[in-house]
Amino acid sequence: MTNDKNKPIDLSSMENFEIEPSWVKKKTGSNAYKHVTGKERGQQTDRRRGGDRRSTDQRRAKPRHERGENPRRVETRFEFQLLPEIEILEKIKLEMRKTGISYGLSDICETILAKEERYSIKIRFKEEKEKSFTITIDDQNIFSSDEKAVDHLLKNNFDKTFSKELDLEEKPIKNFSYVYQCAKTGFLLPPNNYHRYEEVVRQHMFLNGINENFERFSNNLVKVDDAEQIKVWTENPLKIYKFTIKKEKEDWCTGIDQLRAKLLREMPSSLFAKEAIIKINGSKANFLENIIREQFIQYYKFKPNWINQLFSACLVNLKKSNFTIFKYSEKKHTYACAYKRNKVEEKQLSKNAQTILSFLKKSKEGKKAVILKDKELEALGSKDILVELKWMVKEGYITEFANGSIAVN
């Protein structure tokens, strides 16, 4: 029997996956606020302090919830739920069945929270129950309105989704005292008194992937009054394109605005999906529209918003899989075990098992490492002790915990 086999078994045998009991964690534990940058936490602290000039002792006299204050008073349009990924729970249950080790529900929750891909986020509109989210099929981004989804597609997936062809060329015939230049591309653009100014500028933005508000972009254009540059612009005809969805080659739209209006009117199922409730993996929170993601971050910052939901979801899943749920320790923490706990009848046990059980009943420290080294049991040998312990765990006569402690049921 090697030394490795004598070590307490945990879930570290799973790749990138391990359950640690909460007692071995630092007091800070798994960072429940890992989505939030240090800067955001600092701003949050400043907001809590702002306007409260009482002494620290006065502010600490009562917990915030007893003072009737809401520590996260943020107006939100969305309801969130934090749930375990079923695949992760299945891995945890498989390993618990293999080892027989009992884990605290809080430790299972901490393990799930340790990595974003281990939990999912469920989202729905808070007050607007009839409203749906809009999802862009190509990149699976999620938006709170059709308009935002359409604009995202036009600005970020233009070349992949749409086709363009030259519709007409127009050479300016008027004398101009100035033109504009795009600071991002260096392209010369018409002055704002040109009759196609907005159409040309919007087209330029979309064709060059400039993801910016039109008014802001227009205000930041550089005014050029150099005669040579104006001449260059007037001698090159303006190119106006027509556009279509790549899958609908015959249905052309004149100009970006007409294409946008068509998309909003029809919301083609090849490009968009509608869902009243969204459920995404935690690692894909960046797929959420900014306003949704920001409100999720605020929700996530305050652990009481979601910890009971996560705990309950794990508990229900384990119960449905016939895991035994029990309270243990002075603080009555909740634990889960893959096997039913039974009261032992010593006459049903082998002689070796009876010897080990008697030792456990009188021993003040029921640690597996201590049991294996104790002189009273050395005649049995480490291999036989481990075999008997594992059998008694799976029969439900004893309970083994993640820290190597063993208790008689």
CB 193 within 8 A of CB 263: no
User: pLDDT tens-digit profile of 32-63?
Assistant: 444 444 444 444 444 444 444 444 444 444 54
Band of residue 249 on the pLDDT scale cut at 50, 70, 90:
low
pLDDT at 371 (0 to 100)? 84
- What's the pLDDT at 361? 85
From residue 12, alpha-carbon distances to 91, 117, 118, 393, 395 in Å are: 12, 17, 15, 20, 24
Read off the DSSP letter of residue 77: S
Examine the pLDDT at 372 and tell me if it is beyond 70: yes
| Residue 304 exposed, middle or buried by CB count within 10 Å (0-12, 13-18, 19+) | exposed
pLDDT tens figures, 375-403: 878 788 888 889 988 998 998 898 999 88
Burial of residue 67 (CB within 10 Å: 0-12, 13-18, 19+) is: exposed
93 vs 255, higher pLDDT: 93
Q: Three-state SS for 302?
A: coil
pLDDT, tens only, 260-316: 999 999 999 999 999 999 999 999 999 999 999 999 999 999 999 999 999 999 999
Tell whether the model's pLDDT for residue 188 goes beyond 90. Answer: yes
Predicted local distance difference test score (pLDDT) of residue 364: 61
- The strand pairing partners of 239, in sequence order, are 169
Q: Which two tokens stand for residue 354?
A: 């009876």
R_g of the chain computed on alpha carbons: 32
Q: What is residue 7's predicted lDDT score, i.e. its pLDDT? A: 42
User: What CA–CA distance (Å, rounded) separates 279 from 98?
Assistant: 31
| Residue at token pair 């190597």 | 404
Question: What does the DSSP 8-state code read for residue 378?
Answer: T
pLDDT at residue number 319: 95
Listing DSSP states for 223-289 in one string gives EE--HHHHHHHHHS-EEEEEEEETT-TT--EESHHHHHHHHHHH--TTTEEEESEEEEEGGGGGGB-
- On the question of pLDDT at 29 being above 60, the answer is no
Helices 105-113/307-320 angle, 10° precision? 120
Q: How far is CA 35 from the centre of its chain?
A: 9
Give the whole-angstrom CA distance, residue 113 versus residue 390: 30
Instruction: Say how many CA atoms lie within 13 Å of 381 toward its Cβ.
Output: 5
How confident is the model at residue 47, as a pLDDT?
Answer: 43
Q: What is the DSSP letter of 338?
A: S
Question: Are the C-beta atoms of residues 100 and 407 closer than 8 Å to each other?
Answer: no
Length of the chain, in residues: 409
pLDDT for the residue numbered 58 = 45
Q: Among 40-49, 205-214, 224-233, which range has the highest average pLDDT?
A: 224-233
Count each helix (H run) and each strand (E run) in the chain, helices first. Answer: 16, 17
For residue 208, what is the DSSP state?
Answer: T
pLDDT digits (tens, 9 = 90+) for 167-178: 888 888 778 899
Whether residue 120 contacts residue 85, with contact meaning beta carbons closer than 8 Å, is answered with yes
* Percent with pLDDT over 70 in the chain: 80
133 has pLDDT over 90: yes
Select from 349, 280, 238 the least CA-distant residue to 116.
280
64 confidence band (pLDDT: 50, 70, 90): very low
Instruction: Please give the structure tokens belonging to residue 328.
Output: 């243990």
Q: What residues contact 220, with CB distance under 8 A and at least 6 apart?
A: 183
Q: Which residue has the tokens 């964690």?
A: 25
Q: Is the pLDDT of residue 368 over 90?
A: no
Report the distance separating Cα 306 and Cα 308, nearest Å. Answer: 6
Residue 365, pLDDT score:
59
Helix/strand/coil for 328: strand
Degrees to nearest 5, angle at CA 114 with 111 and 115: 120
Mean pLDDT value of segment 92-96: 94
Domain ranges across the chain: 74-127+284-336, 142-274, 339-408
Is residue 218 over pLDDT 80? yes
CA torsion sign, 357 to 359 to 362 to 364? negative
pLDDT recorded at residue 18: 55
**Residue 17's pLDDT is what?**
53
Average pLDDT, the chain: 82
Determine the pLDDT at residue 373: 81
Between 248 and 92, name the one with better pLDDT.
Answer: 92
CA angle, 146 as apex, 189 and 148 as ends, to 5°?
A: 45
Tell me which of 203 and 41 has the higher pLDDT: 203
> For the whole model, what pTM was predicted?
0.70
Separation of alpha carbons 337 and 20, rounded Å: 15
What is the mean predicted confidence (pLDDT) over 112-121? 95
The whole-number pLDDT of residue 262 equals 93
Rounded CA-CA distance 76/394 in Å is 48
